[in-house]
Amino acid sequence: MKLLILDGNSVINRAYFGVKPLTTRDGLYTHAIYGFLNILERMEKEEQPEAVCVAFDLHGPTFRHLKYDGYKATRHAMPEELVQQMPIMKDVLRAMNIPIYECQGWEADDVIGTVGKICSQQDWECVIVTGDRDSLQLIDGNVHVKLVISKPGQTTTTLFDEEKFREEYGFEPKKLIDLKALMGDSSDNIPGVAGVGPKTAKELLAKFGSLDGVYAHLDDPSIRPKLREKLEAGKENAYLSFDLATIRPEAPIDFAPKDAIVQPYNRLELYQLFQKLEFVRLIDKYGLRGAAADVPKPERKVQSLPRREEMPADVDSCAVYLAEDGSVGLAWAEGVCALTPMEAQMGQLSLAGKNLIFHDSKTAMHRLDELGIQAGECVFDTALAAYDLNPSSSDYTVSKLATNYLGLSVEDADAAACAEALWHLRPVLSGELEKNGMERLYREIEFPLCRVLYRMENRGICIDREQLRQFGDMLQEASGLPVLYQDERLTTVSAERMLIDADVRREKRKKVIDKVAATIILQSYLDSHR
């Protein structure tokens, strides 16, 4: 049986510096997490372990800091962009059901050493994945080290067993401690013996076998007088360094190899985290696309409004939902109803002078214009509010919002049920906006902009043709490329026709029509300059 243990801090640090910075739309850095997951996936494919776990350092001093104030004192603080990714990385590992081991007052190296020792005792093979050569001292018959080197765009690994270590260093893995005791370690600020470098330290170990052997033979004629003086002066630091460099496989952790046996992911939790991180490719790679469907529908949390045949004329506020099939759902304080497409167009619907709640108000207002229905004032847009609250989501349908915020199970095709959901969503989303400090953003910027964009799209905007020509001339002169003038309105019409002919549903058309129109413009430009 084989266990794979990752040195969490070491691997994520190398991922952070080895992957170009990535952020979500709201500014959350994600590249260290992304790089870590890539390394983890690669290691699992290469090693095929039965069990996987990760060790992390905890913030705070360890017994080494208490012994020597200068221990790791020269290290820079963790970059803030990495700090914000650490707790999310641990959340991802938990969602993957990968155990995390950490221990206050002990370093991850000690935790890893403890895991390796227990694995050896239970006859498990243990492969340590790290970028830190300190772990090489842990190598024995059952414990191997996979050393990770990350550079921008490239990650390489080298597997060290006892044979590979001897080939590179010329002595046993445990003697790495003696080597560091003599030459020190600048990365951990371990002093070693002043004036003794790697070459001299290796020569001394090759001849005398250990740190104790060196100091037992200081009078050996092969040791030059100046080197002898350095060794004598640095003896205290040498033994201090030996102590600091020694990984202690005695961390008080509750570990058994069987506890780390690979388990199925928590699909929904991992899916939600990947959505937050905008790891779209990883959602598909990990097969999480249908994870949300695995969750039972929540129980209804709101009282249903009574169904009515029609909305009374004296209602001043209502929610309006326009379904894909053209039916119109209406909900108000005392009831809910639905009109067929024909009923809506035959004058049975009057929204003039009313305060209206829409889902995607700009699109809804255009739809009402198409039906010849005069609408009153839009006072709330549930889709826009939901976007402001969670801009990284990929699903703002009424059914999704009703599930998340109300515990209602509705179908997007059910106009009356969706209108009822919109009526109940307004106070809930308003409260969430206020609670999250986003009410002003919504009210003063986002919501008014929707109305402006609707009027612009509905009425058009005035263009100064001469100014446009002058800009085009300047652009052509600066770039050396020909400038083509085209009426964008016609391309939008063409794009709409193409999508309708391709039997693309209205909701999907709204999302892609601008891209299709842009493609038409580009193709027209290319065709004209062949």
Predicted TM-score (pTM) of this structure: 0.60
- pLDDT at residue 344 in the model: 76
Q: At the fourth CATH level, which superfamily is domain 2-260?
A: 5'-nuclease (3.40.50.1010)
Cross-strand pairs, 144: 127
Longest dimension (CA), the chain: 111
CB 338 within 8 A of CB 327: yes
Q: Of 169, 104, 106, 165, which Cα lies nearest the Cα of 139?
A: 165
pLDDT tens for the chain, 530 residues: list them.
Answer: 999 999 999 999 999 988 888 888 778 899 999 999 999 999 999 999 999 999 999 988 888 888 888 888 888 888 999 999 999 999 999 999 999 999 999 999 999 999 999 999 999 999 999 998 999 999 999 999 999 886 666 778 899 999 999 998 889 999 999 999 999 888 888 998 999 999 999 999 998 999 999 999 989 999 999 999 999 998 999 899 999 999 999 999 999 999 999 999 998 889 889 988 989 889 888 888 777 556 555 555 677 899 998 888 899 999 999 998 889 999 999 999 999 888 877 766 788 899 999 999 998 998 888 888 888 999 999 999 999 888 767 678 998 898 888 888 888 889 999 999 999 999 999 999 998 888 998 999 889 988 888 888 777 777 788 888 888 889 888 888 888 777 666 777 777 778 777 777 766 777 777 788 888 888 877 776 66
Strands 328-332 and 317-322: antiparallel
Q: How far is CA 324 from CA 52, 211, 495, 515, in A?
A: 48, 80, 19, 21
- Among 490, 496, 481, 494, which Cα is nearest to 528's? 481
pLDDT for the residue 44:
95
What is the gyration radius of the CA atoms in the chain, in angstroms? 33
Which DSSP category does 29 fall into? Answer: B
* Dist CA 347 CA 372 (whole Å): 9
Residue boundaries of the structural domains of the chain: 2-260, 317-459, 465-528
**pLDDT (0 to 100) of residue 452:** 85
CATH number of 317-459: 3.30.420.10
Q: Which two tokens stand for residue 511?
A: 């999302």
> Which two structure tokens, joined as six digits, stand for 472?
């085009």
Strand extents, DSSP E, 305-440: 317-322, 328-332, 335-339, 351-358, 375-381
Backbone angles phi, psi at 34, to 5 degrees: -60, -45
d(CA 319, CA 123): 67
The secondary element (H helix, E strand) that includes residue 255 is none
pLDDT at 299: 55
